[in-house]
Amino acid sequence: MTTLAISVMAFVAIGGVAWVFIYPLLSGERTAAKRIKSVAAKEQPTRAVRQRANEADKRRKQLQTTLSDLEAKQKAANKPPLRQRLLQAGLKWTPRTYYLICGGMALLGMLVGLIIQAPIYVTLLMGFVFGLGFPAWLLKFLKARRQRKFLDEFATAVDVIVRGIKAGLPVNDCFRVIAKESQEPVKSEFRRIIETQALGLTLAECVTKMYERMPLPEANFFSIVITIQQQSGGNLAEALSNLSNVLRGRKKMKAKIRAVSQEAKASAAIIGALPLVVMLLVYITSPDYISLLWTERVGHMMLAGSALWMTLGVLVMRKMINFEI
């Protein structure tokens, strides 16, 4: 009996050991466990990839929203009010001052017409040109001159920001350096950024307002870079370094286009001035011959028609030789 009991117990022990170690191999449980682990290991990076993809989608949507807002502001800046145009020209006038100057110039033009005893319609035309045309042309001329000065210095200012960031300076300190050391109008524009930021506005809002005062593609590029970096992060020094290269490339292209188009502009200036020069020479040599143009009514009509056609011709030539990039 003792031997039988020991045999049974040994058989049960051997069977238990076999059940523990051999049965999982025969039943496939261990294989199933390995498969579950491998699937879980594959699923974990898939979840990480999905999470990164979702973050990328959110970032892309945020960038699209930012760019849409900037494009809307750019379209609004294409038709600025009078006060904004005065700021873009660098003038500290109020709209009331501008209208008073327009009225004074209109009176001056009509006074000149009365002094030379011109017909009433010519006097009114001179008042219209002096009152509306000349101030608008002056505003446009001052705006264009200020923008040229800004572009000449803007790429250097961006380089200052890049070198300052690489040296470890904050962006605001780089702006302060530009506001102290740069030339006008870059100096005043960056000073306004610092002043508006001190009032509680974000840096992105401040550079966007700079584009409103200086409606140039270069200023718009700068505001886009700063806005995207503030909202999405990234290497600002590298982005601004690329922007600086783009600005200098655009400047070189403009200079090349200006040099190539100088011949056409000189030819257009000669063609436009030729009738006036011939008229002056004829008046010097034979004043009685040409004086019929301003003493007779038919001469007045011929002068008006000639001035109209000459103006149209000059505008067409200007449109043909004016290149913008």
pLDDT digits (tens, 9 = 90+) for 147-187: 888 888 888 888 888 888 888 888 888 888 888 888 888 88
Interatomic CA distance for residues 189 and 211, integer angstroms: 10
What pLDDT, on a 0 to 100 scale, did the predictor assign at position 257?
Answer: 80
User: pLDDT averaged over the chain?
Assistant: 77
Neighbour-count burial of 2, counting CB atoms closer than 10 A to its CB (0-12 exposed, 13-18 middle, 19+ buried) = exposed
User: What is the pLDDT averaged over residues 298-321?
Assistant: 82
- Tokens 């290991």 locate to 41
Helix/strand/coil (H, E, C) string of the chain? Answer: CHHHHHHHHHHHHHHHHHHHHCHHHHHCHHHHHHHHHHHHHHHHHHHHHHHHHHHHHHHHHHHHHHHHHHHHHHHHHCCCCHHHHHHHCCCCCCHHHHHHHHHHHHHHHHHHHHHCCCCHHHHHHHHHHHHHHHHHHHHHHHHHHHHHHHHHHHHHHHHHHHHHHHCCCCHHHHHHHHHHHCCCCHHHHHHHHHHHHHCCCCHHHHHHHHHHHCCCHHHHHHHHHHHHHHHHCCCHHHHHHHHHHHHHHHHHHHHHHHHHCHHHHHHHHHHHHHHHHHHHHHHHHCHHHHCHHHHCHHHHHHHHHHHHHHHHHHHHHHHHHCCCC
- Start-to-end CA span in the chain (Å): 109
Q: Identify whether the C-beta of residue 166 lies closer than 8 Å to the C-beta of residue 172.
A: no
261 — pLDDT class (breaks 50, 70, 90):
confident
Interatomic CA distance for residues 303 and 282, integer angstroms: 15
- Tokens 């200006």 locate to 258
pLDDT at 11 over 60: no
pLDDT at 216 over 80: yes
pLDDT digits (tens, 9 = 90+) for 113-151: 888 777 787 788 888 888 888 888 888 888 888 988 888
pTM (2 d.p.)? 0.64
- Tokens 């001056």 locate to 108
Interatomic CA distance for residues 31 and 125, integer angstroms: 99
* Angle, vertex CA 311, rays to CA 82 and CA 132, nearest 5: 25
pLDDT digits (tens, 9 = 90+) for 20-30: 555 555 555 55
Share of the chain above pLDDT 90, in %: 0
User: What is the pLDDT averaged over residues 291-302?
Assistant: 81
